[in-house]
Structure 1
């Protein structure tokens, strides 16, 4: 799937990478709860961003972007837990972290733009 919009494209890539990581992580570690959290938090921003494209108003879009941003911050927490606990290496999470940073930055900037207009 190819999206023209940078936010949609990066959030889609984040979801795919997070999903694939969580499947592999659950197989090798048997840590199903954490694996499911990673899956949910990595896919939720993209779904919320997709939903925001048909927002009823700018305020509605800003609200949906805010929820997506909260999901990004929760994903950041779980990635930190994985590394801190030794369940995952930073290197194997690098692509997810890079995409997460990009999606987070775009969401923050988009919310500021929506607030100022």
Structure 2
């Protein structure tokens, strides 16, 4: 029986939210450049978490998590830019930014534990 993996679950649910935001930006706001950057970085977080789970070594695990962390930081940047330029509402962006920050904290904690073990 597979046990729950919080970062795996959170990064996957975040990716779904990012895909939904991308669809909104494309259809409702007719924004085609920044939205693709958001889609790329926001869905990459979970992909890198999955790669970390299947890592071949501790160093590989830490490396993949580091990439996931960087992608989360980039996603936060695109969300803030989309808010500042009026493509996203404050409510929509705040919720997504909070989700991103939560993911960053979890990944940071996992990285610290992995480096100390």
Deviation of 1:98 after TM superposition, in Å, equals 2.5
Query: What is the aligned residue count?
Result: 115
Q: TM-score, normalised by structure 2?
A: 0.92
Q: Deviations over 1:52-87 (max 9, x none)?
A: 111011110000000001100100110110111122
Matched, 1:5 2:11: no
What is the root-mean-square deviation in Å for CA atoms of aligned residues?
1.2
Of structures 1 and 2, the one with the larger relative CO (CA 8 A, separation 6+) is: 1
Runs of 4+ residues deviating >2 angstroms: none
Unaligned runs of 5+ in 1: none
TM superposition score normalised by structure 1: 0.92
Q: Which runs of 5+ in 2 are unaligned?
A: none
Question: How many Å separate the matches in 2 of 1:90 and 1:103?
Answer: 20
CA contact (8 A) 1:11 1:99 kept: no
